[in-house]
Amino acid sequence: MSFGRMKERGVGRAAAVFLLMTSPAVAGESPAELISDFRLMHGEVAVVRDETLDRIALEQARAMAAKNELSHETLGSFTSRVAPARAGRAAENIAYGHDGFKQTLSQWIGSSGHRKNLLLHNASRVGIASAKDASGKRTYWTLVIAGDYEARPPGKKPKEHPIARKRDATRAPSTH
């Protein structure tokens, strides 16, 4: 059952997250579909997988796994890493610990900064990747979500759009 259908049926947010993450009916849904369901429930548009963002996410996940380090700066600044995507706005979530995407997504949904990134306004594309550390015991995840510059009304001056969103300053032991 999608988040949209849960919302229509009056299922509470916490229950909807639990159902989404544990329901066999969604076991076959892709990460982009799971993210899209969550976004649609909160009034944002669906996202699709993007090859460039997948590559950026994979490079970051592999670098974190190789260094056994959870950091947005493992491969340099997010702004420089996401530049090839030519996005008007972008955000990144990282995590380690869970082998499966659904559990990682649930963890991000429960964190205000990561949740805000998942709900990035007008985002339309997403890249998702994971990599194991050398021991094979720890899985590192990276999600990059992006959208194009917002259209401006005729006659309006362009706003300066930062390509990267500042991440949540709160540090948890396994996500950023």
Which residues are within 8 A (CB) of 12 and not within 5 positions of it... i.e. 6 or more apart? none
CA distance 60 to 135: 18
* 30-45 mean pLDDT: 96
In CATH, what number is assigned to the domain containing residue 80? 3.40.33.10
Which is more confident, 17 or 44? 44
Cα–Cα nearest to 124, from 46, 30, 22, 29: 46
Residue 99 in any domain: the answer is: yes
Burial class (CB in 10 A: 0-12, 13-18, 19+), 129: buried
Write out the residue range of the structural domain in which residue 124 sits: 36-147
Predicted model pTM: 0.71
What tokens were used for 11?
């299922």
Does 6 map to a domain?
A: no
Count structural domains, the chain. 1
- Residue 1 is assigned to a structural domain of this protein: no
Q: How far apart are CA 7 and CA 115, in angstroms?
A: 18
C-beta atoms surrounding 59 within 10 Å:
17
Q: If we measure between CA atoms, which residue out of 141, 139, 108, 145 comes closest to residue 123?
A: 145
- Quickly state the pLDDT bin for 21 (edges 50, 70, 90): very low
Side chain identity at residue 19, one-letter code: L
**Residues 107-145: pLDDT tens digits?**
999 999 999 999 999 899 999 999 999 999 999 999 999
Average pLDDT over residues 151-172: 46
| pLDDT at res. 5 | 41
The residue with greater pLDDT, 106 or 26, is: 106
Average pLDDT, the chain: 78
